Structure 1
Amino acid sequence: MAINTVLFDLDGTLIDSLPLIRRTYEKVFEEMNIPWGDAQVMKHIGLPLVDIAKTFAGEARHPEFFKLYQHHYALEHDELTKPFPGTLEMLETLKSRGFRLGIVTSKTRQVALRSIGFLGIDRYMEVTVAVEDVTRHKPQPDPVLKALELMQAPVETAAYMGDSPFDILAAKRAGVTSIGVTWGMSERDELLRREPDRILQQWEDLIPILEAYSS
């Protein structure tokens, strides 16, 4: 069956926010006197912030971690948030060809809407599923399935793409076509270990991939 619904992760997929995320974590870890381990921390991107806060700050201090993160993230958001090259052009092309588009992210709705509104991505999206919209989060399938429920789109006609193994797992568990992108957090080999249906190295390759499912 042809794919006509395309869902996207946000950070590291549509928007180049990883420098902002790393800088924010560094500040929070420093202020809370938590030992910093870059590789360990950054591998958690894609999970809900509250879960990351509990992992590194503990149950008792996680509200402080969450509040500090939101504070520092907001301060530098506009300066350090930008779309990846070709993102807006790709979304315009997909929309003009009749694809239905949505975002599935582990960010809070407020922060996600700020980012996509600031960058002009919101006008292309039919739905945005954020952390508050489901009880179970990526790598569980619930956020992807929630987006499809809101769009009334069958799984057979949908694809979900992201830069994290959590995205690939969520897509596969939801039964949609899974597409990994190589310009975000994870290396190509790390994505391949989760056996996505496709790997995308540049936006220009997306249309041919989607068209292949229609032939």
Structure 2
Amino acid sequence: MIKAVIFDFDGVLFNSREVQRKALNESYRLVVKNGQPSFEEFLSHSGDSIFNILKKMGLPEEMAGYYLGLIKENAGGVKIYDGINELLDQLRRDGFRLAICTGRDKKSTMQLIDMNSLNDYFDVIVCADDVLYPKPNPQILNQAVGQLDMVKESCVMIGDSCNDLICAKNAGVKSIAVGWGDTSEEVLKQQKPDFFVRSPEELYECIKGRELLLSVNY
């Protein structure tokens, strides 16, 4: 029986795509000067920390400070997805424990939580700078489960990236992939999530039964 729902942040709760694109391009311009980084490659590493993403892309570590500053400066451009407030209300009313498990840094995560008055929804928030090893390493999800004081069998991870789904698999936690984020349905299904949903309304219907089968259900 599912008792706790653990959400990724960007691409699941919030649409930050354009703010991330602009922050990546501007931080690249400030440090590298010429050319433009691949935003598609950047998105393929979603869920990991900005420091690890830059390293994987072969980009200068110096970009991270500029990137994080630009993300904070342009937080007003990050919008909560339609239907998410209603989803969180419904899950809370139904008695589910809620958590966030994100590759974002703590400061920018809490900034958006505060700006959108979401503080009362979440029991636990674990960010990339709370752990040594971000997604897809299971440490960040294991920490969230531990802080919720739940067994893994009672939890489900909601994600929009391959790293989210791999993290859940590595942690032994059920997963639901969402189709409104930054990764295509085809790519997500290659990771064999337990469920795939296309809207917050469908996500609620999937969760509220509290019994998620281990077989793939699309």
Q: What does residue 190 of structure 2 align with?
A: 193
Cα RMSD of the aligned pairs, angstroms, is 1.6
Q: What does residue 17 of structure 1 align with?
A: 16
* Runs of 5+ consecutive residues of structure 2 not aligned to the other structure: 213-218
161, 166, 170: which is aligned to 1:169? 166
Q: What does residue 157 of structure 1 align with?
A: 154
Secondary structure of the structure 2 residue equivalent to 1:199: strand
Q: Once the 2 structures are TM-superposed, how far is the Cα of residue 122 of structure 1 from its aligned partner?
A: 2.0
Contact 1:57 1:65 in 2 (8 A): no
Q: What does residue 41 of structure 1 align with?
A: 42
Secondary structure of the structure 2 residue equivalent to 1:70: helix
Q: What does residue 97 of structure 1 align with?
A: 94
> 2:103, 2:122 → 1: CA distance?
16
Q: Once the 2 structures are TM-superposed, how far is the Cα of residue 41 of structure 1 from its aligned partner?
A: 2.3
Letter in 2 for 1:48: S
**Cα displacement string for residues 74-111 of structure 1 (whole angstroms, at most 9, x for unaligned residues):** 22111x11100010110000001100000000111111
> 1:40, 1:208 → 2: CA distance?
33
- Does 169-178 or 26-35 show the bigger shift? 26-35
Q: Once the 2 structures are TM-superposed, how far is the Cα of residue 213 of structure 1 from its aligned partner?
A: 4.1
> 1:57, 1:29 → 2: CA distance?
12
Q: Once the 2 structures are TM-superposed, how far is the Cα of residue 57 of structure 1 from its aligned partner?
A: 5.4
Secondary structure of the structure 2 residue equivalent to 1:128: strand
123, 133, 137: which is aligned to 1:136? 133
> 2:14, 2:36 → 1: CA distance?
28
* Runs of 5+ consecutive residues of structure 1 not aligned to the other structure: none
123, 130, 142: which is aligned to 2:120? 123
Contact 1:9 1:161 in 2 (8 A): yes
Contact 1:8 1:103 in 2 (8 A): yes
> 1:87, 1:172 → 2: CA distance?
25
Q: Percent identity?
A: 27
Q: What is the TM-score of this pair, normalised by structure 2?
A: 0.91
Letter in 1 for 2:116: L
Q: Once the 2 structures are TM-superposed, how far is the Cα of residue 37 of structure 1 from its aligned partner?
A: 2.0
Q: What does residue 142 of structure 2 align with?
A: 145
User: Higher helix proportion, which one?
Assistant: 1
Q: What does residue 73 of structure 1 align with?
A: 71
Contact 2:49 2:103 in 1 (8 A): yes
Contact 1:106 1:131 in 2 (8 A): yes
Aligned pairs, how many?
210
Contact 2:46 2:163 in 1 (8 A): no
205, 208, 214: which is aligned to 1:208? 205
> 2:135, 2:182 → 1: CA distance?
15
Letter in 2 for 1:65: M
**Cα displacement string for residues 186-212 of structure 1 (whole angstroms, at most 9, x for unaligned residues):** 000100000000001011112321234
Letter in 2 for 1:136: Y
Secondary structure of the structure 1 residue equivalent to 2:191: coil
> 1:129, 1:144 → 2: CA distance?
8
